Structure 1
Amino acid sequence: MKVYEALAKAFAAEGTKTVFGMMGDANMYWMEELDKLGVELVEARHEGGGLAMADGYGRVHADPGVCTTTSGPGVTQLATTLVVAARARTPLVAFIGEAPAGDPSYVQRLDQSRFAEACEAAFVHVTTPDLAYDAVQKAFYIARTESRPVLISAPMDVQQKPFPDADDEYVPSTELLAPVRPIFPNPEVVEQVADLVAASERIVIVAGRGAERSGAGDEILRLAQDTGALIATTLMTKTWLSEDEFHVGISGNYATRTAIELFQDADLVIALGAGLNKYTTNHGYNYPMAKYVQVDTKHHVVMGDGRSADIFLQADARLAVQELRAALETRGVHHTGYRTPDVKEKLATAWVDDEPYDVEEGTVDPRDVCTTLDEQVPAEIGLVIGGGQNICFSTILMKKKRRSILMNQHFGCIGQGLTTAIGQMFATGKQPTFLMEGDAGFMMHLPEFETAVRSELPLLVIVMNDQLLGAEYHKAVAKGLNAELARISTPDLGEVGRALGGRGSLVRSIAELETAIAEFVADPAPTIVDVRISTQVISIPYRRLHFGQEA
């Protein structure tokens, strides 16, 4: 058995079912061996696109996402998405080929360990044949336990050498992991939290990914009812628990004006599995008079403004809320708090943005696009939201609870929406999904739409097309610069979708958008809907950040 065969066997034993990427000299033998083992190979049109697909896969699947590239230039194409995956804390393993160890003049030579370090990824090197099994096990162990991307770098000449331990059975990294037991909260700290809750009148619960993953939903709903609390979420858990009638949406700069006004009166924030970074607290502006309780599985977390919470409780979110509710019941605590008819009436219209704008002929108000999609795309169709200025509309205004919602704002870059959507769909059985993306971000990885077509993915791409670098355009207007420098025309992207083998349409009215939605819902297939939106309508976050408006 050759080293490349041993490496492929180890990947398969780790549970790898799908690998995204591009074939080259330095990974082709490994890929062929995976194919023989029944692993699905998804050939992307760009190495960075393949990594982004693995990123989308790893964020929603129980096993790490897996991608591959050849050596040198194949590796350097991964840079932006590696940082994205690191910031998103995605468990991901990338098998990267490497120049022959004995040829320092090889044209694709690169110090790939330094590259990995610069991109905030872990690095495992297969320097000798006997390290093949150990390298794969170590890489998957790091990905699973540290929740981060890992590069396995295997020189071409080492891959072709005999594997000396061919008779040994590979031990998957999962066998090294102790059973995960939820952290039980310290009873004394729970009592302190209960005292603080009992003394508070206006409580906001901020629920994050940690709480969602712990299965704390039902307990949080009961705690909110017992304490009269509002329920807010972080950006990454958008619409979770929105069945509660006092759910106010996202906490942070993506909050509605109604939510921000209610937050001003909060005297206690209970953060459950939420990092309370500066975006979630809106740099402290959201909760100026509140004390903080923070529940997290980490030993300790400092909030985004550099402070520690008034009470930090290391615990599993579900167990923490259970114990807190028991302590409050013993005290007979039951607050009305925010849960009044007046607050309920305010929340009924919280997501309405009626700021008047003059919309250019042949374009659509992007707010109406979001409302129409929210109303007419069924909840069982998942949503992926890309990056850039235009997603500021969908992030705030789309409030329907869906089968899944995947956000792409970990590194402040554009161009990740289409590719992470593809990866997420492979991880969830290719269930119908729609993507909200801007034109500039979509154009970056336009060829990957053909990957979606080739893979027969039921993906609806909604391109919010203002024919601008939207963020730069509106910032330039606000700062008195030449905004026209940010204008970039685009072709009819619906026509491009058809040319790439899918479906597509150009939309200049809400009626045309409704027709396009109905066609996809009736027969989900790879589709691009190029929605020409007005450049005059400014999103709520941009009105706040750049124009100083109370939006």
Structure 2
Amino acid sequence: MKVYEAMAEAFVAEGATTVYGMMGDANMHWMNAMAERGVELLEARHEGSGLAMADGWARGAGKVGVATTTSGPGVTQLATSLVCASRARTPMVLFCGESARGDLTATQYLDQQKFAEGVECEFVHVLTATKAQDAVRRAFWLARTKSRPVMVSAPFDVQLEEFDGAPFYLTSTELVDAAPRIPDPARIREAAAIIEESKRVVVLIGRGARTADAGDQVVELAELTRALVATTLQVKNWLRDRTPYYAGISGLYGTQAAHELLQEADCVIAVGASLNQFTTEHGYLYPAARMIQLDHADQVVTGTGQPVDCYVRGDARASLDRLLEVLRNNPTRSEGFHDEDIAARLREADTLRESFHREEGRLDPREVVLALDELMPQELPLVLGSGHQVDFGTMLFTRPREIVSNYGMFGAIGQAPLITMGWSLGRGRQPTVVIEGDASFIMHLAEFDTAVRYGWPVLIVVMNDEALGAEFHKSAAHGLRPELSAIPSPDLGAIALAMGGSGATVRTMADLQQAVGRYLANPGPTVIDVRISREVLSVPYRRLHFAEDV
């Protein structure tokens, strides 16, 4: 058995069923071996796109994603997608071919270890035939324990050697302790004491709480402490329908009512949330609150530059269960945030009170988002991209559907449609919608062919202002020439049809309703090119650039 075959067997043993990427000289033997073992190979049009799809697959499936590329230029093409996956803490293993050992004059030679370090990727080198399967096991162990991408760099000459390693393969899962991390009882008591002394509590939930499926515990905690429930951007709308005291996003994208109420908090219980500068709005939102943080990661300072008052290290559900055991035995507390006036303020917080902008041939992006929220069934997952246009969706989508936000993951445009393609397949070809801008979508337009080729049921709604929207509005705010960021756009609906998918270009609300209806009736690769006005500025930009309190 050759090394590339032994490595393929190790990948399969680790659970690899789907591989995204592109074939080249230095990975084609391994890809053939994977195909012979029943693994699905999905060829993208760009190496970085394939990796972003694997990122989405891993997020959707809740498993380690797998991608591949050839040596040298194939590896460098991964750069942006690798940083995005690392910032998103996505567990992935990448099989990357490499030039023959010691051949520094090879056309595709690259110091792939230095490259991996520069793009925040773990690195495992396959330097001998004997240790080839050990390298695969270590890569999957790192991906599972550190929750980040890992590059397995395999020189081409080593791949073609005879494998002379161990006769059996021990998977990384047998080396990972999956038992829940139990919190320190003293820390639980300390947290409970702080809560008992508090009058205005906020339970702030992040991705860790949702991943742990701790919704019931969060709702009970909020009821016991008479707390508001706020979220990080990554779990927007989660539990919205479970409590009348749902304050929504904590941070720049929060409502005016949320900003006012969160500043009154004297205690924050953060569950699976990092308390970074975006969530705390650099300390603006919780100026007088004591902070309790429940998380399994190592403790770090918050976005205010200070440590929390009480750090409880443990899995979210285990920590909440033990905290609730203590709190249930305590007397009833003060009313806290739970009164009808506050509930009414929160119910009205998302209501848009401004008139829609009217412009011939272009729609108000706020009206588009509100209509999409109603038109799309609640079970349809939503992926939000980057750029100015996504601000509207981030604030105005309010139905409690599953949302994947790519915002803040390195600030890279163009990734969200690729993540959506992988997410859909990771969820068993579940129809999924992504909201993205025109510059972002066109950046990886070739990958719509990939979606068509494999028949992925993704709906790409392009909020098309024919500009680099963020730069357009920032230029205007800084007294620069916004027209320099305006880029004419082709008819993206027609292009989607020409590529074999479905498509429509929308200039009226009736057009939008019909286009969404056609997709829902027969989900398949679809682009809806929605022409939106540049005259409407999002709430976050109004706050940042014009100091408007909206």
Instruction: Give the alignment of 1:209-228 within 5 angstroms.
Output: 209-228=207-226
For residues 333 and 94 of structure 2, the distance between their equivalents in structure 1, rounded to whole angstroms, comes to 51
Residue of structure 2 equivalent to 1:520: 519
For residues 83 and 6 of structure 2, the distance between their equivalents in structure 1, rounded to whole angstroms, comes to 29
Instruction: Please report the RMSD computed on the Cα atoms of aligned residues, expressed in angstroms.
Output: 1.4
Asked whether the 8 Å contact 1:226–1:335 carries over to 2, the reply is no
Residue of structure 2 equivalent to 1:201: 199
For residues 391 and 71 of structure 1, the distance between their equivalents in structure 2, rounded to whole angstroms, comes to 35
Residue of structure 1 equivalent to 2:109: 109
Matched, 1:409 2:408: yes
Asked whether the 8 Å contact 2:60–2:424 carries over to 1, the reply is no
- Structure 1 stretches of 5 or more lacking a match? none
Counterpart amino acid of residue 188 in structure 1: A
Deviations 1:337-358 (A, max 9, x none): 1121111111122112334564
For residues 288 and 356 of structure 1, the distance between their equivalents in structure 2, rounded to whole angstroms, comes to 34
Match of 1:283, SS state, is helix
For residues 317 and 38 of structure 1, the distance between their equivalents in structure 2, rounded to whole angstroms, comes to 37
Match of 1:501, SS state, is coil
Q: CA deviation at 1:360?
A: 2.5
Q: CA deviation at 1:403?
A: 4.4
Residue of structure 1 equivalent to 2:5: 5
Matched, 1:238 2:232: no
Residue of structure 1 equivalent to 2:479: 480
Taking a change above 3 Å as real, the CA distance of residues 432 and 335 of structure 1, as seen in their structure-2 partners, is farther
Match of 1:388, SS state, is coil
Deviations 1:112-168 (A, max 9, x none): 111001001011111121121111111111111111111111111221111123x71
Q: CA deviation at 1:250?
A: 1.0
Q: CA deviation at 1:525?
A: 1.0
Taking a change above 3 Å as real, the CA distance of residues 114 and 512 of structure 1, as seen in their structure-2 partners, is same
Q: CA deviation at 1:400?
A: 1.1
For residues 116 and 285 of structure 1, the distance between their equivalents in structure 2, rounded to whole angstroms, comes to 37
Counterpart amino acid of residue 2 in structure 1: K
Deviations 1:271-304 (A, max 9, x none): 0111100000011111122111111113423211
Residue of structure 2 equivalent to 1:446: 445
Deviates more, 1:186-195 or 1:473-482: 186-195
Deviations 1:68-112 (A, max 9, x none): 111111110000111111111110011111112253221111111
Match of 1:331, SS state, is coil
Residue of structure 1 equivalent to 2:303: 304
Counterpart amino acid of residue 223 in structure 1: L
Q: CA deviation at 1:410?
A: 1.1
Taking a change above 3 Å as real, the CA distance of residues 376 and 44 of structure 1, as seen in their structure-2 partners, is same
For residues 102 and 318 of structure 2, the distance between their equivalents in structure 1, rounded to whole angstroms, comes to 55
Deviations 1:361-382 (A, max 9, x none): 1111111111111111001111
Deviations 1:499-529 (A, max 9, x none): 1110000001111111111111111111100
Residue of structure 1 equivalent to 2:536: 537
Asked whether the 8 Å contact 1:386–1:409 carries over to 2, the reply is no
For residues 227 and 333 of structure 1, the distance between their equivalents in structure 2, rounded to whole angstroms, comes to 9
Residue of structure 2 equivalent to 1:95: 95
Percent identity between matched residues is 50
Deviates more, 1:382-391 or 1:350-359: 350-359
Deviations 1:318-351 (A, max 9, x none): 2322222232232213332112111111112211
Q: CA deviation at 1:531?
A: 0.3
Deviates more, 1:305-314 or 1:391-400: 305-314
Residue of structure 2 equivalent to 1:143: 143
Match of 1:477, SS state, is helix
For residues 58 and 408 of structure 1, the distance between their equivalents in structure 2, rounded to whole angstroms, comes to 18
For residues 168 and 324 of structure 2, the distance between their equivalents in structure 1, rounded to whole angstroms, comes to 49
Deviations 1:23-47 (A, max 9, x none): 1111111111111100000000100
For residues 45 and 126 of structure 2, the distance between their equivalents in structure 1, rounded to whole angstroms, comes to 27
Residue of structure 1 equivalent to 2:186: 188
For residues 497 and 383 of structure 1, the distance between their equivalents in structure 2, rounded to whole angstroms, comes to 20
Residue of structure 1 equivalent to 2:371: 372
Q: CA deviation at 1:190?
A: 2.2
Out of 221, 224, 227, the residue aligned to residue 229 of structure 1 is 227
Deviations 1:423-453 (A, max 9, x none): 1112110101000001111111111111111
Counterpart amino acid of residue 154 in structure 1: A
Counterpart amino acid of residue 288 in structure 2: M
For residues 316 and 162 of structure 1, the distance between their equivalents in structure 2, rounded to whole angstroms, comes to 44
Match of 1:280, SS state, is helix
Residue of structure 1 equivalent to 2:133: 133
Report the count of equivalent residues.
549
Residue of structure 1 equivalent to 2:14: 14
Taking a change above 3 Å as real, the CA distance of residues 399 and 45 of structure 1, as seen in their structure-2 partners, is same
Counterpart amino acid of residue 548 in structure 1: A
Residue of structure 1 equivalent to 2:172: 173
Match of 1:287, SS state, is coil
For residues 274 and 62 of structure 2, the distance between their equivalents in structure 1, rounded to whole angstroms, comes to 22
Asked whether the 8 Å contact 1:216–1:318 carries over to 2, the reply is yes
Q: CA deviation at 1:404?
A: 5.1
Instruction: Give the alignment of 1:23-62 within 5 angstroms.
Output: 23-62=23-62
What TM-score do you get using the length of structure 2 for normalisation? 0.97
For residues 260 and 102 of structure 2, the distance between their equivalents in structure 1, rounded to whole angstroms, comes to 65
Q: CA deviation at 1:399?
A: 1.3
Counterpart amino acid of residue 340 in structure 2: P
Residue of structure 1 equivalent to 2:276: 277
For residues 406 and 399 of structure 2, the distance between their equivalents in structure 1, rounded to whole angstroms, comes to 15
Q: CA deviation at 1:202?
A: 1.4
Q: CA deviation at 1:406?
A: 4.5
Q: CA deviation at 1:186?
A: 2.6
Counterpart amino acid of residue 452 in structure 1: A
Counterpart amino acid of residue 89 in structure 1: R
Taking a change above 3 Å as real, the CA distance of residues 470 and 276 of structure 1, as seen in their structure-2 partners, is same
For residues 361 and 443 of structure 1, the distance between their equivalents in structure 2, rounded to whole angstroms, comes to 24
Taking a change above 3 Å as real, the CA distance of residues 541 and 406 of structure 1, as seen in their structure-2 partners, is closer
For residues 313 and 102 of structure 1, the distance between their equivalents in structure 2, rounded to whole angstroms, comes to 49
Counterpart amino acid of residue 8 in structure 2: A
For residues 163 and 186 of structure 1, the distance between their equivalents in structure 2, rounded to whole angstroms, comes to 47
For residues 110 and 350 of structure 2, the distance between their equivalents in structure 1, rounded to whole angstroms, comes to 51
Deviates more, 1:218-227 or 1:56-65: 56-65
Instruction: Give the alignment of 1:308-347 within 5 angstroms.
Output: 308-347=307-346
Asked whether the 8 Å contact 1:357–1:536 carries over to 2, the reply is no
For residues 189 and 12 of structure 2, the distance between their equivalents in structure 1, rounded to whole angstroms, comes to 48
For residues 280 and 130 of structure 2, the distance between their equivalents in structure 1, rounded to whole angstroms, comes to 50
Q: CA deviation at 1:189?
A: 2.5
Taking a change above 3 Å as real, the CA distance of residues 103 and 185 of structure 1, as seen in their structure-2 partners, is closer
Deviations 1:434-474 (A, max 9, x none): 00001111111111111111111111100000111011111
Asked whether the 8 Å contact 1:16–1:63 carries over to 2, the reply is no
For residues 324 and 252 of structure 1, the distance between their equivalents in structure 2, rounded to whole angstroms, comes to 26
For residues 87 and 534 of structure 2, the distance between their equivalents in structure 1, rounded to whole angstroms, comes to 31
Matched, 1:493 2:486: no
Asked whether the 8 Å contact 1:359–1:536 carries over to 2, the reply is no
